[in-house]
Structure 1
Amino acid sequence: MQQKQRIIGLIIAAVCVGLFLIHEESAAKQNLEKARANLGRHLFYDTRLSYNLTKSCVSCHDPYLAFTDGYRTSSGADGYNVKHNALSLLNVKYRTKYTWANPAVVSLQMQIQFPFFNEHPTELGWKGQEQLIVNRFAADANYRQLFKLAYPNQKNPFNTHNIQEAIIAFEEQLVAYNAPYDQYLKGNLQVMNQQAIAGLKLFGSNKLGCMKCHVWEQPFETNVANFSSGIRIPSLRNVMITAPYMHDGSLENIFAVFQHYEKKYSLNLNKKEQQELIAFFNALTDTSYLSNKELLNPFQYQ
């Protein structure tokens, strides 16, 4: 009997030790992920990331514009504009397609190569300048500490792969799923006024049929992007703070969008209906992430 109790005691002790080790391993993994995201945050906002010290990721992805930039198309380090309007980075971790016109780009690891190494036009201008740029960060005492925390088992963690991996780790923290419409879908029916609700009904009506293309992606669900005529159909989250619109940024404001689709589909929207749609679009805005200083410029918010 005593031997049986000892065996049971040993089993319980082994289970407890195992659970403790699992907890410790999980905590260590979380700390490492946090350290890499913090390193990525610094890199994201640092113009030393471009070969001529003029551009950073935030140049095209401003947090106050839902991580877009407000321009028709973004300009690279040499001053030449890229082909497409900057896509928002919010909820990027849940996407399966990452560019306007190339559905073959199916991971952030693939996507990040473009701003780093594009030449026509140059964006960050890494091609042929890799070691020069990496050495800037290796020479900085603050970055040496950040890299040490993010890659504690590497003797020399300063390389292109780690820089890209850290930026991706930061980008994956950019999550915003708390718009009034999200709350409305959860049952908080008071969060949207009657004008916005009318706009929602109009948006989904047979008259407009917007929901045939624009799917409201949900938290933690993989967003399978639709493409129309080879061009990505974008999310409408934060649509009212991400003008100009379309893949080429050719439509300056929401009224230009209405006019565009009026010509294309003869929608016959009156002013009241336009205002209802705008009220609904405003209910798609979520800037709650701005209260998290760990997502903002570390050189302004320590």
Structure 2
Amino acid sequence: MRVGIAAIIGATALLATGVMATGPDWQWQDLPAGVAAPVLPADNPMSAAKVALGRRLFYDRALSRDGSMACADCHQQARGFSDGLPTHAGVTGDMGVRNVPGLANVAWRSGFTWTEAGITTLEAQAMVPMTGTRPVEMGMAGSDAELGQRLDADPCYRRLFVRAFPTAQGGATYAKVTAALGAFQRTMISFGSAHDRGALSPLARKGATQFAASGCASCHGGADFTDGKVHYVGTAAPGEIDSSAYGGKPPPPGFEPPPERFRTPSLRNVAVTGPWLHDGQSRSIEAAIRRHAAAQLVGIDMPALLAFLDSLTDRPFLENRALGRPADACPAAT
């Protein structure tokens, strides 16, 4: 997304600072030792009511212009909340330009989108697919009033919004919608892989050693195997630069325009989030690795490295019913 970033950030009206904010009925569950609760926007504390609302909104196609697209159509749980496509078409048929990233542990991210767009909260990020125009995704730009009317016409949503925002005036707004979506996405917590449990196979253990020795961890480091930063690593597609010529090397002197830089994706659940890289043009993990790290692969045992990456798949996360499509019955019916 390349336009309207200031408007997107402003529309959410969120504070730049954050706190470990929770409502009286919320406690973070099952965080591993040494993993602190995520820092939240100061004006969007967690609550069970807000998470329930956000879950329903995440799976509701009413958030798109023609009712044909929900957040969950691009972010599918079984695929680590990616979608299995190189890029995803929007409601007008415009094809997206970036591969849909997974959402595991997004509560701990401090930067969103593939490039450095200045979007630092999930609340601000949610406005990009809903209201962005380059490309059009959900097609709701300029439809603030329509969105409110559409949601307020649903008796279930009226009750859910009151429960989630008991002190706020009025009905559904973009700010409330994005706050609820952000709260739900912060429950997409993934720390149950074989790697997390210390249950690596001998081949995966060898791959873990190679992963560190080859320099992969210099960018794919930390608990979620990402430094959260943008880098030029030679992965731009034809038309951006000739990726096959650079393969992770510095671009040639005088190269114009400057090559694109892309944010390091998390490797959690990487085995199920393909196709890979920013443009979705790598059809296998091995192809993605070779496309941007060829110089580091001399002597590498690729089966071992792939076994290690497969060990980052968290099956309980992919099957967690609390993250799946909610029941049709309204949770605020009583």
TM-score normalised by length of structure 2: 0.73
Which residue is equivalent to 1:4? none
8 A Cα contact 1:105 1:111, kept in partner: yes
Deviations 1:116-140 (A, max 9, x none): 2111221111112222222121111
Structure 1: tracts of 5 or more residues without a match? 1-24, 185-190
Aligned residue runs from structure 1 range 208-223, under 5 A: 208-217=214-223
> 2:51 touches 2:184 (CA, 8 Å); kept in 1?
yes
Deviation at 1:79, TM superposition (A): 1.7
Q: Deviations over 1:41-93 (max 9, x none)?
A: 00000011101111110111111100111111122121212211111111111
Show the 5 A alignment for 1:39-50.
Answer: 39-50=53-64
1:198 to 206, 217, 221: 206
Match of 2:278 in 1: 247
2:126 equivalent in structure 1: 112
1:288 aligns with 2:329: no
Secondary structure at the counterpart of residue 146 of structure 2: helix
1:183 aligns with 2:201: no
For the residue of structure 1 that corresponds to 2:306, the secondary structure is: helix
Deviations 1:254-295 (A, max 9, x none): 232244257x4272456xx22111211111111322443221
| CA distance 1:265–1:120, change in 2 (3 Å) | same
Other-structure match for 2:186 = 172
Query: Which residue in 2 is equivalent to 1:132?
Result: 146
Q: Distance in 2 between matches of 1:110 and 1:225?
A: 17
Offset at 1:165? 0.8
| 1:27 counterpart residue number | 24
Q: Which moved more, 1:120-129 or 1:31-40?
A: 31-40
Change (3 A) 1:170 1:202: same
Indicate if the aligned counterparts of 1:237 and 1:284 stay in contact, CA closer than 8 A.
yes
After TM superposition, the runs of 4+ consecutive aligned structure 1 residues lying more than 4 A away are: 28-32
CA contact (8 A) 1:44 1:167 kept: yes
The match for 1:6 is none
Post-superposition shift, 1:145? Answer: 1.7
Q: Contact (CA 8 Å) 2:23, 2:47: kept in 1 or not?
A: no
Deviates further, 126-135 or 285-294 = 285-294
CA distance in 2: counterparts of 1:41 and 1:159, whole angstroms: 16
> Is 2:157 aligned against 1:143?
yes
Q: Does the 8 A contact of 2:215 with 2:296 survive in 1?
A: no
Larger Rg: 1
* Closer/same/farther in 2, CA of residues 26 and 126 from structure 1, 3 Å limit: closer
CA contact (8 A) 2:130 2:137 kept: yes
Change over 3 Å in CA distance of 1:253–1:103 after alignment to 2: same
CA RMSD in angstroms comes to 2.5
Q: Which amino acid aligns with 2:320?
A: N
1:101 is matched with: 115
Change (3 A) 1:158 1:277: same
Q: Quote how far apart the aligned CAs of 1:224 are.
A: 4.6
Paired residues in the alignment total 264
Alignment partner of 1:227 out of 221, 225, 230 = 230
Q: TM-score, normalised by structure 1?
A: 0.80
User: Which blocks of at least 5 consecutive residues in structure 2 are unaligned?
Assistant: 1-21, 28-44, 233-260
Of all paired residues, the percent bearing the same amino acid is: 30
- Name the residue aligned to 2:295: 265
